[in-house]
Amino acid sequence: MAVSRRSGILMLLLAAVIWGSAFVAQSLGMEHIGPFTFQAVRSLLGAAALAPVIFLSGRLARKKGETPSPEQRRLLRKGGLLCGLALFVAVNLQQFGLRETTAGKAGFLTALYILIVPVYGLFLGHRPKPALFVSVLVAAAGLYLLSVTERFTVQTGDLLLILCAFAFAAQIMLVDHFGVRVNGVKLCAAQFLVCGVLSGFAMLLFEQPATGPILATAGPLLYAGVLSSGVAYTLQILAQRTTPPAVASLLMSLESVFAVIAGMLVLGEQPTLREYAGSGLMFAAILLAQRAEGPRLEQEPLPGKP
């Protein structure tokens, strides 16, 4: 499918809107079902949404005589398992965090992964630009305004979301490692499948899932599963064929802004002046961090979205 550069930019912008709005869907979903139940159903829906894409791309590949090697299949299994495990930790920390904080704040706290990924790269021998360290300081100031109260305490939900950002960063590093060796869409579907199965086990252990509440949450589940996990990721892959990595990263980071807007429009959330200031600093740090990242990390898609 040929995609023009202008169409690619519009696709990435639409993906950012979907990802940002997914925080609202996740918040609404917990009115009827528990966090593990939501993520189990949502992740399995995400894997199912990618199945037609995998089927069609597989048919095209076979017509061209292209088949994955045994080594690629082995790497896909290993990558799907490791990425899915990291995604399981990340999305469930995020879901539990959303029970105690707003969707808008959650969007910015989760976006910390953009800063953490290049910091992880330091341990792998990457040499970041000095702007990275400036962005970390700016993010720390924004994080303080967003999450630390006048009594110098941090809410439990905010702490869970900060931990979630570290887990998302680990997942992104894993995808960065495996994504260049296997089919990206298959890897994404595999990680959703693993995440869904693990969340399903946790659901059965710690929650009491029932058909009625799950059906009552059909709207948020379909939005988070099909649109956020399936459609938005596919839009991203198509768009990045023609969109420069730096531009793509900046557009994707707008999900944090759309999370605030969606929270205000749908949930009636009204950020305080302190939270506006913290969000502004966090967004400035995100933009600065994108300029500071090395080219290798910018070339790969950022999968671990809400």
What's the length of the chain?
A: 306
- Of 219, 257, 192, 217, nearest to 40 by C-alpha is 192
- Rounded to an integer, the average pLDDT of 213-242 is 83
Burial 108-145 (b: 16+ CB within 10 A, else e): bbbbbbbbbbbbbbeeeebebeeebeebbebbeebbeb
pLDDT at 305: 56
Query: 180: how many CB neighbours lie within 10 A of its CB?
Result: 11
Per-residue pLDDT tens over the stretch 239-254: 766 665 545 656 676 7
Percent helix / strand / coil, the chain, rounded to 5: 80, 0, 20
- Rounded to an integer, the average pLDDT of 128-132 is 70
- Of 261, 266, 284, 285, nearest to 105 by C-alpha is 261
Q: What backbone phi and psi angles, to 5 degrees, belong to 190?
A: -65, -40
| C-alpha separations of 247 from 57, 62, 173, 265, 291 in Å | 26, 33, 20, 27, 10
Rounded CA separation 170/161 (Å): 14
Start-to-end C-alpha separation, the chain: 26
The answer on pLDDT for 1 being more than 60 is no
pLDDT at 248: 60
Of residues 9 and 82, the one with the higher pLDDT is 82
pLDDT at 301: 43
Rounded CA separation 276/282 (Å): 10
Per-residue pLDDT tens over the stretch 31-54: 899 999 999 999 999 999 999 889
pLDDT at 241: 61
Domain ranges for the chain: 5-299
Q: What backbone phi and psi angles, to 5 degrees, belong to 47?
A: -65, -45
pLDDT at 200: 97
pLDDT at 126: 66
User: Which tokens sit at 125?
Assistant: 């021998």
- Rounded to an integer, the average pLDDT of 275-288 is 79
Q: Which amino acid is at 269?
A: E
- Of 34, 20, 165, nearest to 104 by C-alpha is 20
pLDDT at 168: 85
The answer on pLDDT for 27 being more than 80 is yes
The answer on pLDDT for 195 being more than 60 is yes
The answer on pLDDT for 295 being more than 60 is no
- Rounded to an integer, the average pLDDT of 157-170 is 90
Which residues share a beta bridge with 148? 154
The answer on pLDDT for 115 being more than 90 is no
Mean pLDDT, rounded, of the chain: 81
pLDDT at 246: 47
Rounded CA separation 27/267 (Å): 9
